[in-house]
Amino acid sequence: MITLEGITKIYHTGEVEVAALKGISLHIPEGEFVAIMGPSGSGKSTLMNLIGCLDQPTSGRYILDGYDVSALTDDQLAWIRNRKIGFVFQSYNLIPRASAVHNVEMPLIYAGDNQQRRERAMAALESVGLLERAGHLPNELSGGQQQRVAVARALVTDPAILLADEPTGNLDSESSIEIMKLLRDLNQQGRTIVLITHEAEIAAFAQRVVRVRDGVVVSDERPAVATEMAR
Ligand SMILES: Nc1ncnc2c1ncn2[C@@H]1O[C@H](COP(=O)(O)OP(=O)(O)OP(=O)(O)O)[C@@H](O)[C@H]1O
Ligand SMILES: [Mg+2]
């Protein structure tokens, strides 16, 4: 599904060069649930942006679902991103004046895909357990519910991969567990998930934990025992 080979990313800001990724090689098979952990500034979001086709590596190769992403133009990159990737961020990024279901429809509207748009958005809301909140505005929902709407929005295009960058960063621990259980259910239904988190309790929901530090992978493990919280 995802193969990264010797990926580097160097940011140029004025005179300064920052080597954010220094040679990352990683293979993520279809259906896997991977957590990427590491300290602040270690390159997690940079890696996420590359995996999510939001940015291109400075060098190295990235194969996504058979496509050599590192060779694509910006337009092709946008095409593959819209079809293959669903994003969930720390801030839910919902449109305040749009209902939950309308927010979920947005990726379909952007893609010009009007085929059964409302039905698909309702089905996505149902998959996150929010059918009865479809008509609510974001400020009429709890933080955990807003993030579930954001997960539904990420799922509505039926992406090959769900990318989540600190999805529980703004949530209390109860809502965090709720979101992680939802992600785990989605994974058990076959969805490939890449999750970025600082927190070990959150990473414990994944099958595999990849640790990055200073732009390189320092460990890659499949913990045999989940923590108490993730059970
Ligand atoms: N657009 C940018 N321009 C220049 N430098 C950047 C840019 N984005 C990130 N960096 C630098 O690259 C390094 C990795 O940043 P990145 O955002 O990937 O870290 P992170 O692991 O996601 O950190 P955090 O846990 O704080 O979110 C940092 O040193 C950061 O300052
Ligand atoms: Mg980050």
In DSSP notation, 4-38 reads EEEEEEEEEETTEEEEEEEEEEEEE-TT-EEEEE-
* pLDDT score at 230: 62
Distance 87 CA to ligand 2 centre (A): 14
**At residue 26, does pLDDT exceed 80?**
yes
Q: Which residues contact 79 (CB under 8 A, 6 or more apart)?
A: none
Residue 100 domain flag: no
CA-nearest residue for atom 30, ligand 1, is 41
| CATH code of the domain covering residue 80 | 3.40.50.300
Q: Which residues contact 75 (CB under 8 A, 6 or more apart)?
A: none
Q: What percentage of the chain reaches a pLDDT higher than 70?
A: 97
Which residue of 12, 45, 165 sits with most ligand 1 atoms within 8 Å of its CB, as the best mutation to test the pocket?
45
Q: What angle do CA 82, 164, 129 make, to 5 degrees?
A: 90
Q: What angle do CA 64, 105, 158 make, to 5 degrees?
A: 30
CA-nearest residue for atom 9, ligand 1, is 46
* pLDDT score at 111: 85
For the chain, the domain total comes to 1
One-letter amino acid at 9 equals: K
- 48: closest CA among 92, 81, 14, 83? 81
Residue 128 domain flag: no
pLDDT, one tens digit per residue, over 157-188 is 999 899 999 999 999 999 999 999 999 999 99
Q: Model-level pTM?
A: 0.92
- The atom of ligand 1 lying closest to the CA of 11 is 4
Residues with CB under 6 A from ligand 1: 11, 13, 18, 20, 38, 40-46
Residue 26 domain flag: yes
Residue 129 domain flag: no
Domain span including residue 153:
2-95+144-230
Residue 7 domain flag: yes
Residue 213 domain flag: yes
Residue 196 domain flag: yes
Residue 9 domain flag: yes
How many residues appear in the chain?
A: 231
